[in-house]
Structure 1
């Protein structure tokens, strides 16, 4: 059965997937693999970095989710095709602080080349989060013969930091700045979608904490509108949309060269 043809349970059969490691996958230990019509991946518990509120940061899940769900979309197309993530959702159903051991993610294609859903469980089998991703096929997939894997995470990052420190975020005005360095690139040489998600959630949490809220991130939705090249400073501009005692909503616009490259809505609830 070729890729993209629906099977009996409504899930699309996957073609053989060629996985390419990158700096983000090595940092978060999030390398995926194919298991029949499912893509799976794991993340060590020690890579669930804390946020500004001291809790395990939901943004730490960004690379794992983007890799596992994203490759599920890629696999639903003919072998050799490639997609980019346009939207990613993560909904927390059990506090990350209650997760036991490493996290495991699994995902399946729902619509060939465009949409997949997944879930994250902990080592005890507890459901931690539901996730989904929308992708778009591109005409210029990575050249796998020369795909860069040598620039990956090189151990220069101090892992005994919160997520903002690991990403080298620095505060600026009403927001933060993410230096886009080679270790944050995806196989196409631009900013990895999971890193932009992580940085945006970290900025939203820091903004919420600075405003005096102790609510925990409960869900987020990022939309990638354009690629971000390496070597630039990406501004993360935060805007509080709702500031309540039991619900807080923050929007984060990732801006480079005067243009919004990604926009994220982060909700926090009691």
Structure 2
């Protein structure tokens, strides 16, 4: 999703959905990475699915809760997108996912259903449920989206080579080299810019920032005993795709059974693009 930046934090946050001709035309690098597809309006709301496979693996080789970021971000935004007032854009201010059933998840696909809770001229609220291949509830999600006047350029088409390259990545790659080496515990994690993380408008997709923030917290877990129970992220400004993203992790609490991390993603000039709270618990 493109992200707004006028030199100060955007009032609505960072995750602008642009103005695609059709809501179904949403396959880019992030969706190819996590095999997110199958958009359709369903009887209970907007439906979108994600295939289960090794692309969900994060730091330590275990499936990453952060991998739900693209699926949740897209399915929460689309029902508001189609209901928004004419001549407007959406920017996601807050995205939250609560885990009901920790990974690994049963495939072959996870199915997400998103519905509008409320919408007016200024904002939209939506929620979603995600179930596994057996119909068990995996996670719930919610989003707060701001509605702003249109005026940004239409997203560019995604190159086929970008989609192919994205399909070779996994959740751990949202942390760059640190995702494979296990580095980053206690120090900033610098993620080089990658076209595969873009949304077609020159910005990092909000779901990628969600995944990177969750994975940065997982990498900071000193003993790896905990699993992520929830992630809430606030988008402040766009993360330009041309610049590296730096994740800074601040442990707010590290106990034997629960831990809470504050993860700040910084872009150009060291300015914060998003701030996430990641809660991890013993399961």
Shift of 1:188: 2.8
Quick check: 96-105 or 125-134, which moved more?
A: 96-105
User: Could you say which residue in structure 2 is the equivalent of 1:164?
Assistant: 172
Shift of 1:229: 1.0
The runs of 5 or more residues in structure 2 that have no matched partner are 1-21
Does the CA-based 8 Å contact 2:93-2:146 persist in structure 1?
A: yes
Give the Cα–Cα distance (whole angstroms) in 1 for the partners of residues 231 and 195 of structure 2.
26
Give the Cα–Cα distance (whole angstroms) in 1 for the partners of residues 165 and 78 of structure 2.
27
User: Is 1:226 matched with 2:237?
Assistant: yes
Give the Cα–Cα distance (whole angstroms) in 1 for the partners of residues 224 and 163 of structure 2.
36
TM-score (norm: length of structure 2): 0.80
Give the Cα–Cα distance (whole angstroms) in 2 for the partners of residues 32 and 74 of structure 1.
17
User: Could you say which residue in structure 2 is the equivalent of 1:68?
Assistant: 75
User: Could you say which residue in structure 2 is the equivalent of 1:52?
Assistant: 59
Shift of 1:213: 3.7
Quick check: 32-41 or 88-97, which moved more?
A: 32-41
User: Is 1:269 matched with 2:269?
Assistant: no
Q: Could you say if the C-alpha distance between residues 194 and 174 of structure 1 is closer, same or farther in structure 2, counting changes exceeding 3 Å?
A: same
Shift of 1:186: 1.4
Shift of 1:169: 4.4
SS in 1 for 2:104: helix
User: Could you say which residue in structure 1 is the equivalent of 2:34?
Assistant: 28
User: Could you say which residue in structure 1 is the equivalent of 2:11?
Assistant: none
SS in 2 for 1:125: coil
Give the Cα–Cα distance (whole angstroms) in 1 for the partners of residues 137 and 88 of structure 2.
31
User: Is 1:176 matched with 2:189?
Assistant: yes
Does the CA-based 8 Å contact 1:68-1:107 persist in structure 2?
A: yes
TM-score (norm: length of structure 1): 0.84
SS in 1 for 2:204: coil
Give the Cα–Cα distance (whole angstroms) in 1 for the partners of residues 281 and 64 of structure 2.
14
Give the Cα–Cα distance (whole angstroms) in 2 for the partners of residues 18 and 42 of structure 1.
13
Find 1:243's aligned residue among 243, 249, 254: 254
User: Is 1:198 matched with 2:207?
Assistant: no
Q: Could you say if the C-alpha distance between residues 117 and 104 of structure 1 is closer, same or farther in structure 2, counting changes exceeding 3 Å?
A: same
Q: Could you say if the C-alpha distance between residues 213 and 27 of structure 1 is closer, same or farther in structure 2, counting changes exceeding 3 Å?
A: closer
Give the Cα–Cα distance (whole angstroms) in 2 for the partners of residues 175 and 269 of structure 1.
23
User: Could you say which residue in structure 1 is the equivalent of 2:145?
Assistant: 135
SS in 2 for 1:109: strand
User: Could you say which residue in structure 2 is the equivalent of 1:155?
Assistant: 164
SS in 2 for 1:226: coil
Give the Cα–Cα distance (whole angstroms) in 2 for the partners of residues 99 and 175 of structure 1.
34
RMSD value, Cα: 2.4
User: Could you say which residue in structure 2 is the equivalent of 1:12?
Assistant: none
1:158-214 CA-to-partner distances (Å, cap 9, x unmatched) read: 74x752236524456712122232221114321100000011111110111xx1241
SS in 1 for 2:71: helix
Give the Cα–Cα distance (whole angstroms) in 2 for the partners of residues 218 and 27 of structure 1.
23
The runs of 5 or more residues in structure 1 that have no matched partner are 1-15
Does the CA-based 8 Å contact 1:249-1:265 persist in structure 2?
A: yes
1:37-58 CA-to-partner distances (Å, cap 9, x unmatched) read: 7211111111552222432101
